[in-house]
């Protein structure tokens, strides 16, 4: 008999010294080259077709921008006619003929503007959709090819953030925002070219501000990108917390740690907010300077222009044209800076995406290199293997391991938890590379073999079985990928699936489901029991008849009968293939050819076992009709007024953008925080809904807040600016000249209708696109979260194909959106010309009738023209408004969703102490998402205070469901559950859970230190000393391991505890349960992941801890519950037998049969 020695599994390694080669091997597995991307690299995946379309879009954007200059030129020409008529330099006929001619030109410009604007917008939206899709696909492909150490370091939460929020930012910066940026910069350039043609002297004066603008924008873009990158990094960390919390929601709810997790999440949001504050200050100052410069140069323009008019070097109309060109040009430059922010955000967000896309991992599943031998015999050799996990370089896991596994033999690896057993399996699958030493298959170093080919020769079942969110049949068929059976006809493939499930003892329970093999298993197989999941995973591993079979605790979640059946099946199927078994239950390795005993990373045994602006301008225009000193005096005065106005606009813009930017960051933080808290508030049935997968919820957390943020801050400031300007222009023009104003205002309903239609269309299409993207995000999240299973099954291409196909629908919606929503935007742009025509036409009549003088005319003109221009600018923000509207609806639906079992409510009975008398009375239950499948059918069960009760029975019989109902994860359908004679439905749910501690079958740990993970189990307000902490760890037999680590209790466990073995995670979970000193202890296979010796010690600790408290344990290892005060045998949701171990043996019923199969006749 072999005795497993209990010892620290990995040695304290402050003494570890690595040579340069070893350091390189470690660093290559986790290193990533940081990049500073330029804007043009965002188009790296554009095809020739995309470049052609973009070129067309660029030409038409330039044309649309240039077309806007026509308005300014015509404006100046018409102003010249008015001034000429007032000063009697032109006749009445010349006045009428000239105006009529240019009215027609205005109409032509309107039509031209509509056409070029529409084409420009459509082309950029189309290419934005196409390129963003390419980036999504390339990023997901890159994620799938990364080595496992990459995920140990970065986690799947970062993947979700990148593929939702960051790629959205990139798309935003290369589609409509890019089109409008080019349009406005083209208008700026064209304006100054025409201004130079009219008069180079005055234009040259105006241009002195351009270098100033260039420096200002360059600084803004550079530092904005830096702050954006830092902010996104913190949001990524928050995303990891969110993903971990939602994926382990039952544990979070059971321990009532929603608030603690929310606080951690909020801490990262707070750091992101600080970076946002810095960016707001920068942008507010930069835009304030831009506005100041724009208005200040206007003052200089008019002052210098008045001098040239007085010297007869220019006509007034020419100065007005140059002025209009410069002011609209500079306004376009300001608008350009608005969209440059989107471009800057896109550039900043792209860096992490392209870093991953460009990263070629040292262990590359996508590489075609490497040998692909025709035949595999299965002779495995490990020679002098030393190994350190790349994310834990201070701890040595394997120390000079050598192992020879003959082909066709079965080798079992046993040892204490954390001794390195599962690490050997990981190295066999080449999840990692050893620090030194080599692994051979049939005499070939596995580094020389093609990685995909290698993994396809191996069948693998992990300790924590992973299923994908699809049908049972499809989950099993994943095992056929890359095998000779992959392309069988559907009927033959189905027959093979069913045979594999029969061998894995899964066929019978599958056929009991209404949809049988087409039953959806839910995310991570949540709709199945642990044993059912494991049996399907076994079927998936054996379906392709692999030459090498790796079983890492493959039967740990099975009941005795199922384990016996499957073990026999595995023994039979192992003939002719090489099998390596990692096991804690020695009964499962009796038939092993060789048994390897490990401790502290070495083999210790081997062998066999058994508006103000308009008034100023009007006065300037009035001044232009003067001559001599009067002209100079009035022009100087009003130019100074314009300078004062420019200083005012700087202060207003700076304060506006800084305050709104800061408030936007606060709002975004609050939205994310409240949404996350609301998600954690929901009851468990909410997460069973396929629409509420981890990927969908984390995507909503990230994307909804991003959309809201896109509308607020500087954008909201611009919208307020635009709205107030429009309102002020209307008020001023009504006061000055109500007749002309009312005629011009008739166009406003048309503009509002066009803009409103665009917003409505965008909102509707945005909802559909967002929903379509959620499905693809689920695939990405699920793949990244279960990357070890994905890698072992070599199903990367299959998952990528599914992801690719799921992007078709949002692509179709995006194309539809491009063609439809561009129409009202183009119309809103061209209608500005028509408003000008109307204003000049009716104004000329009022002017001819002497109802309006030049000053009154131009006060109204400028107010109306500025107002109509700003109206068009308002609707340019329609996409931001539509996305924010859609996001706000999504957020409000989440915030307003009140769960039936609400942890936020304070009502219900609160009891300080309980005895622990637990009783089920005629309880019926079915899961809300599977109403046709009864789980509990009239269950009656009673556990008296202080009793140790055990639940046994086949997988899927309802044992874990009983635990869930005690925790009030769900409401019973009928019947009642009472604690100390009180119906738990009437108790305050938080108070109820404070008296209970749960240790589940798959222990969830968070990316924190060991100490922090254990303290999550403490009660609110509970003061836990270091002695208390160490005491519960000693009870859970984990203290010695922890203090043996370099950082002790402050050691980070990695994402979901990846830096620890299964047994180590389980023991930390037990310590977390004991820290709250519960009156009711629920053990759902609490010792399933422990080796035999550790199990005995922990079981002894649990037995001791059970004194004075009610304990309910689920167990498949019947040896762990033979001492129980009462054992309940459950089958088909009912109690079939109950009694002590001896009483049940006397009955010779179901329990007797289970014992007989597990221990044999002689041990009864």
Please give the share of the chain, as a percent, with pLDDT higher than 90: 13
Q: Which CATH number does the domain housing residue 579 bear?
A: 3.40.50.300
Q: Are residues 87 and 126 in the same domain?
A: yes
pLDDT at position 694 is 78
Question: Do both 679 and 797 map to the same domain?
Answer: yes
931 and 890 in a common domain = no
Beta-carbon neighbour count of residue 921 at 10 Å?
16
Output the CA torsion sign for 906, 908, 914, 918. Answer: negative
904 belongs to a structural domain: no
Render pLDDT for 425-476 as a digit per residue (tens, 0 to 9): 889 999 899 988 999 999 999 999 999 999 988 888 887 778 888 899 999 9
Closest CA to 1042 of 1077, 1018, 1068: 1068
Segment 258-306, tens digit of pLDDT: 888 888 888 988 888 888 888 888 877 877 777 777 777 767 777 777 7
Query: In the predicted model, what is the mean pLDDT of residues 788-800?
Result: 87
661-690 per-position pLDDT tens digit: 777 788 888 888 888 888 888 888 888 877
The answer to whether residues 866 and 930 belong to one domain is: no
CA distances for 294 relative to 92, 212, 300, 398, 441, angstroms? 37, 11, 10, 68, 73
What one-character DSSP code corresponds to residue 606? E
Residue 1163 has pLDDT above 60, yes or no: no
Q: What is the pLDDT of residue 1088?
A: 66
Residue 621 has pLDDT above 70, yes or no: no
How many domains does the chain fold into?
Answer: 3
Question: Percent of the chain at pLDDT above 70?
Answer: 86
Q: How far apart are the first and last CA of the chain?
A: 21
How remote is the C-alpha of 933 from its chain's centroid?
A: 33
Q: Are 837 and 102 in contact (CB under 8 A)?
A: no
Going by pLDDT thresholds of 50, 70 and 90, the confidence category of residue 8 is: very low
CA distance 696 to 779: 10
Cβ atoms of residues 549 and 792 within 8 Å: no
Q: Per-residue pLDDT for 1119 more than 70?
A: yes
Pairing outcome for strands 948-952 and 1110-1114: parallel
3-state secondary structure (DSSP) of residue 935: strand
Q: Range of 656's domain?
A: 32-362+613-895
Answer yes or no: is 370 within a domain: no
One domain, residues 161 and 185: yes
Any idea what the CATH number is for the domain that residue 172 is in? 1.20.1560.10
Q: Which of 50-64, 572-586, 644-658 has the highest mean pLDDT?
A: 50-64
Please compute the mean of the pLDDT values over residues 224-252 and round it to a whole number.
Answer: 82
DSSP character at residue 89: S
Q: What is the pLDDT of residues 156-197, one digit of tens each?
A: 667 777 887 788 888 888 988 888 889 989 988 998 899 888
Q: Among 356-370, 465-479, 724-738, 1029-1043, which is the least confidently predicted range? A: 724-738
For residues 485 and 542, the answer to whether their CB atoms sit within 8 Å is: no
Q: What residues have CB less than 8 Å from 33, skipping those under 6 apart?
A: 355, 358, 359
Residue 19 lies in a domain: no
Same structural domain, 814 and 841:
yes
Q: Report pLDDT digits (tens) over 1083-1103.
A: 887 776 566 666 676 677 677
Confidence of residue 977 (pLDDT cuts 50, 70, 90): very high
- Residue 966 belongs to a domain: yes
> How many Å is the maximal CA-CA distance in the chain?
126
Q: How far is CA 710 from CA 283, 338, 753, 870, in A?
A: 14, 12, 23, 19
State the average pLDDT for the chain: 81
Residues 945 and 836 in one domain: no
User: 727-784, pLDDT tens digit by residue?
Assistant: 777 787 788 878 887 877 777 777 777 767 777 776 676 677 777 777 788 888 888 8
Q: At what angle do helices 258-310 and 628-681 cross, to 10 degrees?
A: 170
Q: Are residues 586 and 619 in the same domain?
A: no
**In this predicted structure, what is the pLDDT of residue 200?**
84
Per-residue pLDDT at 25: 81
Highest mean pLDDT among 81-90, 595-604, 621-630: 595-604
Provide the 8-state DSSP code for 4: P
Among 545, 577, 600, which residue terminates a domain? 600
User: Is the Cβ–Cβ distance between 737 and 860 less than 8 Å?
Assistant: yes
Interatomic CA distance for residues 1052 and 1060, integer angstroms: 10
Is residue 1089 a part of any domain in this protein? yes
Decide which of 880, 895, 910 is a domain's last residue.
Answer: 895
Q: Is the pLDDT of residue 861 over 90?
A: no
Q: Is the pLDDT of residue 937 over 70?
A: yes
C-alpha to C-alpha distance for 813 and 820, rounded to whole angstroms: 11
596 and 617 belong to one structural domain = no
For residues 1137-1141, average pLDDT = 91
Residue ending a domain, choose from 568, 600, 632: 600
State whether 247 and 299 are in the same domain: yes
Is 911 domain-assigned?
no
Query: Mean of the pLDDT values across residues 557-576?
Result: 66
- Please tell me the least confidently modeled range out of 139-153, 201-215, 256-270: 201-215
Averaged pLDDT, 895-916: 85
Q: Give the per-residue pLDDT at 422.
A: 84
Q: Which residue has the higher pLDDT, 633 or 212?
A: 212
For residues 1028 and 1157, state if they share a domain.
yes
Residue 611 pLDDT exceeds 60: no
For residue 23, the model assigns a pLDDT of 80
How confident is the model at residue 941, as a pLDDT? 92
Asked whether residue 5 is assigned to any structural domain, the reply reads no
Q: Tell me if 912 is assigned to some domain.
A: no
> Is the same domain home to 587 and 511?
yes
pLDDT for res 573: 63
How confident is the model over 86-111, as a mean pLDDT? Answer: 84
What's 11-57 look like in SS3? EECCCCCCCHHHHHHHHHHHCCCCCCCCHHHHHCCCCHHHHHHHHHH
């Amino acid at each position: 008999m072999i005795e497993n020695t209990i010892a620290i599994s990995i040695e304290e390694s402050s003494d570890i010294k690595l040579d340069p080669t070893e350091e390189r091997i470690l660093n290559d597995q986790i290193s990533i080259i940081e990049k500073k991307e330029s804007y043009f690299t965002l188009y790296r995946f554009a095809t020739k077709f995309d470049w052609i379309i973009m070129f067309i879009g660029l030409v038409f954007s330039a044309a649309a921008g240039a077309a806007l200059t026509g308005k300014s030129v015509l404006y100046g020409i018409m102003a010249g006619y008015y001034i000429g008529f007032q000063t009697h330099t032109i006749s009445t006929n010349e006045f009428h003929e000239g105006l009529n001619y240019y009215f027609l030109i205005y109409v032509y410009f309107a039509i031209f503007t509509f056409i070029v604007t529409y084409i420009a917008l459509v082309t950029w939206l189309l290419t934005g959709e196409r390129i963003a899709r390419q980036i999504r696909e390339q990023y997901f492909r890159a994620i799938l090819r990364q080595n496992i150490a990459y995920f140990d370091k970065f986690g799947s939460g970062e993947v979700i953030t990148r593929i939702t929020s960051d790629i959205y930012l990139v798309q935003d910066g290369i589609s409509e925002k890019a089109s409008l940026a080019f349009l406005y910069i083209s208008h700026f350039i064209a304006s100054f070219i025409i201004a130079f043609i009219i008069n180079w002297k005055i234009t040259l004066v105006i241009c002195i501000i351009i270098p100033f603008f260039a420096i200002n924008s360059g600084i803004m873009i550079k530092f904005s990108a830096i702050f954006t990158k830092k902010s996104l990094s913190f949001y990524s960390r928050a995303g990891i917390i969110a993903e971990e919390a939602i994926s382990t929601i039952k544990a979070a709810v059971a321990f009532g740690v929603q608030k603690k997790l929310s606080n951690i999440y909020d801490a990262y949001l707070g750091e992101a907010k600080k970076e946002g504050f810095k960016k707001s200050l920068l942008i507010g100052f930069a835009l304030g300077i831009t506005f100041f410069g724009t208005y200040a140069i206007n003052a200089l323009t008019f002052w210098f222009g008045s001098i040239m008019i007085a010297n007869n070097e220019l006509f007034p109309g020419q100065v007005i044209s140059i002025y209009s060109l410069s002011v609209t040009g500079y306004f376009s430059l300001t608008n350009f800076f608005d969209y440059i922010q989107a471009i800057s955000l896109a550039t900043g967000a792209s860096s992490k995406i392209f870093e991953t896309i460009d990263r070629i991992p040292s262990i590359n599943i996508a590489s075609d290199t490497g040998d692909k031998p025709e035949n595999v015999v299965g002779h495995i050799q490990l020679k002098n293997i030393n190994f350190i996990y790349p994310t834990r370089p201070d701890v040595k896991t394997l120390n000079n391991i050598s192992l020879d596994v003959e082909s066709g033999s079965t080798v079992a690896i046993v040892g204490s938890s954390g001794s390195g057993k599962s690490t050997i399996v990981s190295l066999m699958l080449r999840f990692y590379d050893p620090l030194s030493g080599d692994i051979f298959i049939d005499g070939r170093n596995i580094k020389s073999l093609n990685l995909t080919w290698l993994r396809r020769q191996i069948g693998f079942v992990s300790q924590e079985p992973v299923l994908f969110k699809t049908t049972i049949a499809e989950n099993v068929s994943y095992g056929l990928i890359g095998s000779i059976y992959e392309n069988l006809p559907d009927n033959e493939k189905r027959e093979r699936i069913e045979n594999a499930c029969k061998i894995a003892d899964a066929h019978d329970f599958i056929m009991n489901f209404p949809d049988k093999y087409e039953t959806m298993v839910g995310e991570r197989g949540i709709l199945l029991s642990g044993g059912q999941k494991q049996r399907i995973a076994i079927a998936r591993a054996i379906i392709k008849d692999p030459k090498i079979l790796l079983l890492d605790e493959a039967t740990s979640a099975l009941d005795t009968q199922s384990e016996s059946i499957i073990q026999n099946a595995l023994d039979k199927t192992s003939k002719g293939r090489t099998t390596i078994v990692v096991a804690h239950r020695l009964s499962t390795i009796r038939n092993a050819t060789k048994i390897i005993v490990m401790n502290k990373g070495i083999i210790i045994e081997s062998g066999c076992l058994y508006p103000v602006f308009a008034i100023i301008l009007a006065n300037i225009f009035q001044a232009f009709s003067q001559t001599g000193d009067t002209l100079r005096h009035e022009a100087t005065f009003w130019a100074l007024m314009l300078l004062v106005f420019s200083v005012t606009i700087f202060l207003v813009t700076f304060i506006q953008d800084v305050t709104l930017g800061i408030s936007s960051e606060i709002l975004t933080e609050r939205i994310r925080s409240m949404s996350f808290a609301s998600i954690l508030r929901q009851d468990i049935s909410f997460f069973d809904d396929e629409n509420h997968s981890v990927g969908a919820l984390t995507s909503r957390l990230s994307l909804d807040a991003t959309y809201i943020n896109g509308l607020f801050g500087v954008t909201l400031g611009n919208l307020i600016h635009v709205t107030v300007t429009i309102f002020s222009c209307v008020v001023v023009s009504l006061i000055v000249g109500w007749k002309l104003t009312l005629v011009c205002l008739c166009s406003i309903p048309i503009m509002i209708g066009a803009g409103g239609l665009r917003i409505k269309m965008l909102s509707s299409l945005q909802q559909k696109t967002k929903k379509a993207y959620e499905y693809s995000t689920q695939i990405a999240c699920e793949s990244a979260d279960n990357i070890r299973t994905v890698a072992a099954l070599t199903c990367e291409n299959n998952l990528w194909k599914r992801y690719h196909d799921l992007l078709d629908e949002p692509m179709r919606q995006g194309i539809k959106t491009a063609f439809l929503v561009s129409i009202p935007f183009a119309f809103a742009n061209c209608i500005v010309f028509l408003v000008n025509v109307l204003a000049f036409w009716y104004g000329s009549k009022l002017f001819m009738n002497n109802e309006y003088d030049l000053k009154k005319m131009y006060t109204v003109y400028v107010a109306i023209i500025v107002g109509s221009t700003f109206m068009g600018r308002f609707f340019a923000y329609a996409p931001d408004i539509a996305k924010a509207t859609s996001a706000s609806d999504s957020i409000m639906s989440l915030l307003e969703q009140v769960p039936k079992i609400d942890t936020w409510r304070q009502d219900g009975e609160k009891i300080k102490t309980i005895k622990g008398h637990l009783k089920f009375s005629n309880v019926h239950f079915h899961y809300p998402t599977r109403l046709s499948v009864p789980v509990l059918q009239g269950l009656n069960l009673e556990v008296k205070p202080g009793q140790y009760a055990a639940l046994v029975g086949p997988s899927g019989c309802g044992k874990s469901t009983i635990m869930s109902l005690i925790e009030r994860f769900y409401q019973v359908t009928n019947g009642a559950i009472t604690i100390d004679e009180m119906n738990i439905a009437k108790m305050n749910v938080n108070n109820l859970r404070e008296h209970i501690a749960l240790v589940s079958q798959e222990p969830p740990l968070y990316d924190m230190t060991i100490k922090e993970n254990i303290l999550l189990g403490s009660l609110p307000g509970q003061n836990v000393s270091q002695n208390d902490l160490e005491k519960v760890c000693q009870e859970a037999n984990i203290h010695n391991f922890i203090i043996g680590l370099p950082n002790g209790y402050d050691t980070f466990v990695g994402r979901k505890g990846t830096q620890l073995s299964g047994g180590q995670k389980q023991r930390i979970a037990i310590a977390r349960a004991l820290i709250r000193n519960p009156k009711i202890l629920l053990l759902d296979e609490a010792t399933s992941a422990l080796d035999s010796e550790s199990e005995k010690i922990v079981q002894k600790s649990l037995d001791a801890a059970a004194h004075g408290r009610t304990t309910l344990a689920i167990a498949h290892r019947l040896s762990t519950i033979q001492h129980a005060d009462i054992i309940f045998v459950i089958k088909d949701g009912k109690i079939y037998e109950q009694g002590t171990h001896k009483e049940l043996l006397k009955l010779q019923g179901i329990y007797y049969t289970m014992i007989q199969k597990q221990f044999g006749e002689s041990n009864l």
